[in-house]
Amino acid sequence: MPLQAPAPRSADLRIDAGWIIPVEPSAQVHTGHSLLLKDGRIAALLPDTEADAWECHERLRLPGHVLIPGLVNLHTHAAMTLLRGYADDLPLMDWLNHHIWPAEARHAGQDFVRDGTRLACLEMIRGGITCFNDMYFFAETAVEAATQAGMRIAAGLILVDFPTAYAADPDGYLQKGLALRDAHGDNPLASFCLAPHAPYTVGDRSLEKIMTYAEQLDLPVHMHLHETRDELQASVEQYGVRPLARLKALGLLSPGLIAVHGVHLDDTEIGWLADHGCHVAHCPASNLKLGSGIAPVARLLAAGVNIGLGTDGAASNNRLDLLGEMRLAALLAKGLAHDPTTLPAAQALEMATLAGARALGLDQEIGSLVPGKQADIVAIDLSGPGSQPCYDPLSDLVYSVGREQVSHVWVGGRLRVEKGVCLSLDRGEILRAASGWRNAIKPRR
């Protein structure tokens, strides 16, 4: 009886690109390779000659493009796109107390969050961001908007100690947040974080509750920490210690903590973050624009702290542009260390992808182009004049590329951006809504 040839392996989509950078292993760049997708996941990353043996339902050729994992925005307030440029060039506490919080008190309801988050999703996915860690009120509306966009959202279950239109007290915030988590347990695009806003807006009793829920439900804790010198001084005056020491005494330092900003950290505090496996969300553009300072990235990395990148909200940045944050983070780290070898391109790309996924506990699913992971993929066109001649596509990604060069985006294997056009959102409708909010929030005189 003759031997039968083995059945050919099959894939839904084969993507051929000029270069493929999987992030795992670090600094690896593949040429002459194909990425194969099946059932929303990465089936294989193979040399073209081996990919030829696969039966593929569809094949896409992208010469002159580089494929990377979807970008992970580790910290933002998506709905605040509607406050972009509203109160620029002000110190943080003045900006918050006299401009942002009063505007939110007047306008931040479900409609505001829906329209602002949709605008943010349109901007982010068009720039290659496929997952964002959000912190804002009416998180259920943000989850709905992100799901409509086909993006991944780590929704922050926000908590502050003062009443807002969303909830009257800390217990109310927690109850609403936990109900949202229960309602979306089967949403493949949604995950959740506990999100106490900051040490200056959340007291010890509330933080103790956060710690209890974090341990019981195995949820990350997403919190602004050590952003400004004023924050540190106020904490010492009220509690006798700096914020991180206060969190340490409460037992909140753990592998689940995402410390946002971390601008003002001494060596002892960096050691605490490293020893407890905490993560840092580095938001360089926001920190510079608000005059907060520059995070000690080189010292944090040297201590072994995992650092992801965030844009912060559009009200304090004003761009939700993670490719831009990646370049800025690398340049700032080099300048601060007086060492051009600090934060090389491969490490900067990892911060924008796998490190952010790791902080969210999603690194087994996203953050790198590894077989078995979700097919969250970004194609970037390097054929234009701003990227030529291309000696090193990894270097180009960090130091040359702009978000306008993103051509295609897939989330879970589904095409969300094609030739620079977002397929999942109505651009005209979203921009009309944003224009309406501009007139409502700050009428023209």
221 shares a domain with 100: yes
114 shares a domain with 24: no
399 shares a domain with 324: no
Preceding omega of 6 cis (within 30 degrees of 0) = no
Q: Which of 365, 341, 286, 370 has its CA nearest to residue 96? A: 286
Q: Which of 20, 70, 103 has its CA nearest to residue 410? A: 70
**pLDDT tens-digit readout, 157-168:** 999 999 999 999
**pLDDT tens-digit readout, 96-124:** 889 998 999 999 999 999 999 999 999 99
β-sheet with 190-196: strand ranges across = 71-76, 129-134, 152-159, 190-196, 221-225, 257-261, 279-282, 306-309
200 shares a domain with 291: yes
pTM for the structure as a whole: 0.96
63 shares a domain with 53: yes
264 shares a domain with 155: yes
Instruction: Tell me the three-class secondary structure of 35-78, residue by residue.
Output: EEEECCEEEEEEEHHHHCCCEEEEEEEEEEEEEEECEEEEEECH
Side-chain half-sphere exposure of 318, counting CA atoms within 13 A: 10
401 shares a domain with 281: no
For the chain, helix (H) and strand (E) counts, in that order, are 17, 16
Give 8's pLDDT tier (boundaries 50, 70, 90): low
Is 93's pLDDT higher than 90?
no
**pLDDT tens-digit readout, 157-206:** 999 999 999 999 999 999 999 999 999 989 999 999 999 999 999 999 99
162 shares a domain with 195: yes
Q: Which of 260, 259, 318, 327 has its CA nearest to residue 290? A: 318
pLDDT score for 91: 83
316 shares a domain with 395: no
Identify the domain containing residue 112 by its residue range. 71-359
Q: Establish if 5 belongs to a structural domain.
A: no
302 shares a domain with 177: yes
172 shares a domain with 53: no
**pLDDT tens-digit readout, 306-360:** 999 999 999 999 999 999 999 999 999 999 999 999 999 999 999 999 999 999 9
**pLDDT tens-digit readout, 269-293:** 999 999 999 999 999 999 999 999 9
User: Domains in the chain: how many in total?
Assistant: 2
